Amino acid sequence: MTRECHVRFCERLRGQFPRPTHHFGMKAHIAVDADSGLVHTVTTTAANEADIEQVADLLHGKEQHVWAEGRRKAAAHKREHRKASVRAKVEHPFRVIKRQFGLIKVRFRGLAKNTAHVVTLFALSNLWMERRQLMAMAALRPRSA
């Protein structure tokens, strides 16, 4: 099927369905503990929603500082370095779920199933990032017979 045929086919079908049949993408928004780097809150939205709308859902009330991505002008080097270190803490769980657990694309159709999948992967990423401390605690625990 050529591109022109495909476009005509799509134009004929437009308006025949009561709601959209496909959603193109989703975003995962996370809140990370500043000290440990562990994820404590996960929300997901459709890809076409603004990030700023999720800030209230990510806050738990005990934060001392809040950093969010956004458009900004160039700032001083020292401030940019501090922001980069915070950004690295937030991006590390995404690296873990992509590299260690293989999340490349969303697997399911529908935001609810993909949300459950992403929340599970972030919980596993917390375990992955704390695996050395957990193994050390298990080694110190006396074995019962």
- For the stretch 74-104, what's the b/e string if a residue is b when 16 or more beta carbons lie within 10 angstroms of its beta carbon? eeeeeeeeeeeeeeebbeebbebbeeeeebe
Total domains in the fold of the chain: 1
Domain presence at residue 114? yes
| Mean pLDDT of the 79-90 span | 79
Domain presence at residue 123? yes
pLDDT of residue 6: 63
Q: Where are the alpha helices (DSSP H) in 14-104?
A: 55-58, 77-99
Higher pLDDT pick, 73 / 27: 27
Q: How confident is the model at residue 125 (pLDDT cuts 50, 70, 90)?
A: very high
Domain presence at residue 22? yes
Domain presence at residue 145? no
| Mean pLDDT of the 56-69 span | 71
Mean pLDDT for all residues in the chain: 77
Domain presence at residue 120? yes
Domain presence at residue 69? yes
- CB neighbours of residue 141 within 10 Å: 8
Question: In sequence order, what are the residues at sequence separation of 6 or more whose Cβ sits closer than 8 angstroms to the Cβ of residue 66?
Answer: 55, 59
List the domain range (segments joined by +) for residue 132. Answer: 3-140
